[in-house]
Amino acid sequence: LPALELTTSEVLDLMNKNPEAKAITDVTADFLNNADMVKFAKYIPMDKINEEMMTQAKEIVNRTIPAVEESGEQNV
Protein backbone atom coordinates (compact mmCIF):
# COMPACT_ATOMS: atom_id res chain seq x y z
CA LEU A 1 0.00 0.00 0.00
CA PRO A 2 1.80 3.18 -1.16
CA ALA A 3 0.20 5.22 1.64
CA LEU A 4 2.63 8.14 1.43
CA GLU A 5 1.47 8.93 -2.10
CA LEU A 6 -2.26 8.55 -1.39
CA THR A 7 -4.93 10.71 0.18
CA THR A 8 -6.80 9.50 3.24
CA SER A 9 -9.81 8.63 1.06
CA GLU A 10 -7.66 6.61 -1.31
CA VAL A 11 -6.02 4.71 1.56
CA LEU A 12 -9.39 3.89 3.09
CA ASP A 13 -10.84 2.81 -0.27
CA LEU A 14 -7.96 0.36 -0.74
CA MET A 15 -8.31 -0.89 2.83
CA ASN A 16 -12.03 -1.53 2.32
CA LYS A 17 -11.21 -3.71 -0.69
CA ASN A 18 -8.77 -5.83 1.33
CA PRO A 19 -10.44 -8.36 3.65
CA GLU A 20 -7.43 -8.44 5.98
CA ALA A 21 -7.39 -4.65 6.34
CA LYS A 22 -11.12 -4.23 6.97
CA ALA A 23 -10.64 -5.08 10.65
CA ILE A 24 -8.66 -1.88 11.25
CA THR A 25 -10.32 0.43 8.74
CA ASP A 26 -12.40 2.26 11.35
CA VAL A 27 -9.52 3.01 13.70
CA THR A 28 -7.32 3.98 10.75
CA ALA A 29 -10.00 6.29 9.35
CA ASP A 30 -10.40 8.05 12.69
CA PHE A 31 -6.63 8.41 13.07
CA LEU A 32 -6.05 9.71 9.53
CA ASN A 33 -8.98 12.14 9.67
CA ASN A 34 -7.61 13.66 12.88
CA ALA A 35 -4.14 13.82 11.33
CA ASP A 36 -5.59 15.58 8.28
CA MET A 37 -7.21 18.19 10.54
CA VAL A 38 -3.85 18.90 12.16
CA LYS A 39 -1.98 18.98 8.87
CA PHE A 40 -4.38 20.88 6.64
CA ALA A 41 -6.63 22.89 8.96
CA LYS A 42 -3.92 23.74 11.51
CA TYR A 43 -6.15 22.17 14.15
CA ILE A 44 -4.57 21.93 17.59
CA PRO A 45 -6.06 18.87 19.28
CA MET A 46 -6.75 18.70 22.99
CA ASP A 47 -4.63 16.41 25.16
CA LYS A 48 -7.37 13.78 25.16
CA ILE A 49 -7.32 13.61 21.34
CA ASN A 50 -3.50 13.41 21.34
CA GLU A 51 -3.61 10.48 23.75
CA GLU A 52 -6.34 8.79 21.70
CA MET A 53 -4.29 9.19 18.52
CA MET A 54 -1.23 7.64 20.19
CA THR A 55 -3.37 4.69 21.29
CA GLN A 56 -4.79 4.37 17.77
CA ALA A 57 -1.32 4.50 16.21
CA LYS A 58 -0.08 1.73 18.52
CA GLU A 59 -3.16 -0.37 17.74
CA ILE A 60 -2.66 0.05 13.99
CA VAL A 61 1.00 -0.94 14.24
CA ASN A 62 0.35 -3.89 16.55
CA ARG A 63 -2.46 -5.24 14.39
CA THR A 64 -0.46 -5.00 11.16
CA ILE A 65 2.81 -6.60 12.27
CA PRO A 66 3.37 -9.66 10.07
CA ALA A 67 2.99 -12.96 11.92
CA VAL A 68 6.19 -14.89 12.55
CA GLU A 69 6.00 -18.63 12.11
CA GLU A 70 7.71 -20.87 14.65
CA SER A 71 10.43 -21.68 12.12
CA GLY A 72 11.42 -18.01 12.34
CA GLU A 73 10.16 -17.12 8.87
CA GLN A 74 7.84 -14.17 8.46
CA ASN A 75 4.42 -14.92 7.06
CA VAL A 76 3.59 -11.95 4.84
Q: Is pLDDT at 25 greater than 90 in this prediction?
A: yes
- State the Cα torsion 38-41-44-45 to the nearest 10°: -60
Task: Evaluate if residue 7 carries a pLDDT over 90.
Answer: yes
24 band by pLDDT with thresholds 50, 70 and 90:
very high
Q: Write down the mean pLDDT value for the chain.
A: 90
Cα(48)–Cα(52) distance, integer angstroms = 6
pLDDT digits (tens, 9 = 90+) for 34-68: 999 999 888 899 999 999 999 999 999 999 988 88
- pTM of the prediction? 0.79
Backbone angles phi, psi at 10, to 5 degrees: -65, -40
Residue span of the structural domain in which 26 resides: 3-62
DSSP 21-44: TGGGHHHHHHHHHHHHHHHHS---
How many structural domains are present in the chain? 1
Is residue 22, in this structure, part of any structural domain at all?
yes
The verdict on residue 19 lying in a domain is yes
**Residue 72 located in a structural domain:** no
